[in-house]
Structure 1
Amino acid sequence: MNAQHEALERRAPRALFIVCVAWSVWWMDHSGRAIMATNLVVRNVDEDLTRALKQRAAAHGRSAEAEHREILKAALQKPPRRSVADVLASMPNVGDADFARAR
C-alpha cells in the first residue's frame, strides 16, 4: 500500500463510498437522442457489500459490474410518465349501474 492510499484510509472511514467520474462516451441512439455512458469508480467498499454484490450477480447470471448497473438503474431511474389518456384507458369498465340516477 502506498503513502497516498494509507493517507486516504486514515481520512475516510472504511464503509465510505467515494464515487468519481472517470470518463464519458457519447453516441446517438436509433431515435437520434444523445446518449452518454459514464464509468464510475467506487472505492473503499466494505468487503461484505462486495461479497453480497458478487453473490447477487451470480444468482442473476451476470457479472458484478452488470449487477451494479442494474441496482443503480432500479434505485435511480424514474418510471416513464403515463398520459391521462393511458391512465383512463387502463381503468376497468364497471358499467353504469353505480352511476344511475335515483328516480
Structure 2
Amino acid sequence: MATLTIRNFDETLKMHLRLRAAEHGRSMEEEVRCILRQELAKPASEYGLGSRIVSRFSDVAGDLPLPERSQPRPPIDWDEPS
C-alpha cells in the first residue's frame, strides 16, 4: 500500500473533513479514500478544455466578431544592407 502525505492542509478544510468523516462513521483517512474513489471513478470528460470553456460561456458572450486577418510581414533578410 502507498502512503500519501499532504502538506499545508488548511485547518478549516481539516475541520470539515473531520465532521464529514464523523457523519459517515469513518476515520478521516477512510473518508479521504472514499472521496478519492468517488471522484476518480467518474468518467473523464469527453470534451477538451477549450470545448468546455466555449460551452460554459456561450450563453454570456454569444458570437464575438473576429478581426480581419491580414498577411504576415515578410521575414527580415539579414543579408540585405539597410
Task: Normalising by structure 2, report the TM-score.
Answer: 0.49
Structure ranking higher in helix proportion: 2
**Which has the larger Rg?**
2
Task: Give TM-score, length-normalised by structure 1.
Answer: 0.39
